[in-house]
């Protein structure tokens, strides 16, 4: 026990004097979690609270285009600015750039005429099918497509939301015109505004309720998504310090002396595991604390810890142990510190990508969806999400813990085999 204690003291002393290692293990993940959460929080707000600026050039003087602009404004997603005059693609691009707008739309000059004609034609067909005589309308041809110009920085999911919103605005305009035509043909008078609004605006409301395992209805936010994810990344990033430390000890003269002393090197490996497991716990505590107490001061949503704190502690320990085991394994097999650092960093980024830390695993397709299962980070993330987002309890994450435990044991066995094969124990 004294040997183990002395070895832990030695490892802690070396760790505390490795300023770059400490920066990599603590400062880098903290910066990462703050930056990524802030950016994602802006995206959340862009969709939910902030408005996308849109430039509309209306070359049409008719009522339908005015209705369309009114409908776009009513969606609540856009901050519309109208520009006048003849516009082409280049001009609208210039205007978007000048006014820092994400989107631009040109409504063609015959938009209202074509919408009217199309509505009357549809209304006529409808009356005919009722057995009534409708006005015969000369078709002006299909309505020209509405061209939307967008800033390339807009992500695809936001573009799809924009497209959906514009479609619903167009649908509203076309439906209104068709309804008016139908009413006029049948009653030979204008459709009363009150009835028109009732018919068009009587939409069924959509309530959004997050479904959690503990029955709470906390709306997930960027903090709840990012803090657990980047805590896992930080824990696995100890590979930069730990695997380097294993290699340094292995290739340095000190290892030759250690091998001639009456102590098994497994004591050294156990000490490193205990020391770095403590580091991962500290990382989690620091990052969670920042999420809880610092985030509100920088305008980010505060982190809500799961109700089952015991489950959180157990999951964190298992994740940390898995991260430590992976780093030790890489350190034992790497020949040089450069190998350990290079492979370590790249493999962690790949495992993070595959594991769903950077792109949600539910959005992955085919091979990558299956590949997620081999990344220990995936199981760590699933366990954390279950606790942080779904209000899960220990029983809900037992499967994840078991899988992480199996991966950890496999890594430990691999490390032991590596040590034996290299005659290090």
Q: Give me the residues that bind other proteins (CB under 8 A), please.
A: 2-3, 5-7, 9-10, 13-14, 17-18, 252-254, 256-264, 267
What radius of gyration, in Å, describes the C-alpha atoms of the chain?
A: 31
The CB-of-242 to other proteins minimum distance in angstroms stands at: 15
| CA distances from residue 310 to 236, 260, 304, 406, 408 in whole angstroms, order as listed | 22, 43, 15, 21, 20
Contact status, residue 344 vs residue 324, Cβ threshold 8 Å? no
In angstroms, the CA 249 to CA 251 distance is: 6
DSSP 8-state symbol, 423: T
The CB-of-3 to other proteins minimum distance in angstroms stands at: 5
Residue 175: which of 117, 107, 119, 112 has the closest Cα? Answer: 119
The CB-of-254 to other proteins minimum distance in angstroms stands at: 5
Q: Give the nearer residue to other proteins in terms of CB position, either 252 or 335.
A: 252
How many CB atoms neighbour CB 350 within 10 A? 13
The CB-of-2 to other proteins minimum distance in angstroms stands at: 6
Length of the chain measured in residues: 425
The CB-of-18 to other proteins minimum distance in angstroms stands at: 7
Q: Give the nearer residue to other proteins in terms of CB position, either 216 or 263.
A: 263
| CA distances from residue 273 to 1, 268, 278 in whole angstroms, order as listed | 15, 9, 8
The CB-of-257 to other proteins minimum distance in angstroms stands at: 4
- Residue 354 in tokens: 């595959």
Is the CA virtual torsion 170, 175, 180, 182 positive or negative? Answer: positive
| CA distances from residue 203 to 197, 198, 369, 391, 410 in whole angstroms, order as listed | 11, 9, 38, 33, 57
Q: Give the nearer residue to other proteins in terms of CB position, either 268 or 391.
A: 268
The CB-of-424 to other proteins minimum distance in angstroms stands at: 11
| CA distances from residue 139 to 46, 61, 116, 118, 136 in whole angstroms, order as listed | 41, 20, 10, 7, 9
Helix (H) or strand (E) holding 81: strand 78-83
Q: Give the nearer residue to other proteins in terms of CB position, either 154 or 267.
A: 267
- Could you give phi then psi for residue 275, rounded to 5 degrees? -60, -50
In angstroms, the CA 215 to CA 390 distance is: 9
The CB-of-418 to other proteins minimum distance in angstroms stands at: 18
Q: Give the nearer residue to other proteins in terms of CB position, either 2 or 297.
A: 2
The CB-of-9 to other proteins minimum distance in angstroms stands at: 7
In angstroms, the CA 305 to CA 388 distance is: 7
Q: Give the nearer residue to other proteins in terms of CB position, either 13 or 128.
A: 13
Q: Give the nearer residue to other proteins in terms of CB position, either 250 or 378.
A: 250
Q: Give the nearer residue to other proteins in terms of CB position, either 209 or 261.
A: 261
């Amino acid at each position: 026990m004294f040997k183990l204690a002395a070895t832990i003291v030695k490892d802690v002393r070396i760790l505390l004097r490795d300023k770059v290692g400490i920066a990599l293990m603590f400062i880098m993940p903290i910066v990462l979690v703050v930056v990524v959460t802030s950016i994602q929080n802006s995206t959340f707000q862009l969709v939910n609270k902030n408005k996308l600026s849109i430039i509309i050039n209306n070359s049409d003087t008719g009522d339908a285009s005015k209705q369309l602009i009114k409908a776009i404004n009513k969606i609540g997603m856009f901050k519309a600015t109208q520009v006048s005059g003849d516009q082409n693609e280049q001009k609208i691009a210039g205007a978007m750039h000048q006014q820092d707008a994400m989107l631009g739309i040109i409504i063609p000059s015959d938009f209202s005429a074509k919408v009217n004609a199309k509505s009357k034609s549809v209304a006529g067909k409808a009356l005919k099918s009722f057995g009534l005589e409708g006005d015969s309308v000369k078709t002006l041809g299909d309505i020209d497509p509405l061209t939307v110009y967008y800033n390339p920085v807009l992500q695809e999911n936001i573009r799809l939301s924009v497209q959906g919103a514009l479609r619903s605005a167009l649908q509203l305009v076309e439906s209104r015109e068709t309804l008016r035509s139908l009413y006029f043909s049948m009653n030979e008078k204008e459709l009363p505004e009150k009835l028109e609004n009732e018919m068009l605006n009587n939409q069924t409301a959509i309530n959004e309720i997050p479904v959690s395992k503990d029955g709470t209805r906390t709306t997930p936010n960027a903090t709840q998504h990012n803090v657990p994810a980047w805590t896992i990344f930080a824990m696995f990033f100890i590979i930069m310090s730990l695997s380097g430390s294993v290699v340094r000890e292995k290739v340095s003269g000190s290892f030759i002396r250690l091998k001639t002393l009456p102590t098994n090197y497994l004591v050294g490996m156990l000490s490193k595991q205990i020391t770095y497991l403590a580091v991962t716990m500290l990382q989690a505590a620091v990052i969670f604390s920042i999420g809880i107490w610092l985030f509100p001061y920088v305008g980010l949503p505060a982190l809500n810890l799961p109700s089952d704190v015991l489950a959180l502690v157990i999951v964190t320990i298992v994740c940390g142990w898995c991260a430590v085991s992976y780093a030790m394994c890489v350190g034992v097999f790497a020949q040089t510190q450069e190998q350990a650092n290079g492979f370590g960093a790249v493999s962690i980024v790949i495992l993070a990508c595959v594991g769903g830390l950077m792109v949600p695993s539910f959005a992955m397709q085919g091979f990558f969806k299956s590949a997620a299962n081999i990344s220990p980070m995936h199981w760590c993330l699933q366990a954390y999400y279950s606790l942080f987002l779904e209000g899960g309890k220990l029983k809900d994450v037992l499967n994840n813990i078991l899988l992480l435990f199996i991966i950890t044991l496999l890594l430990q066995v691999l490390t032991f085999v590596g040590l034996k094969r290299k005659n290090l124990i």
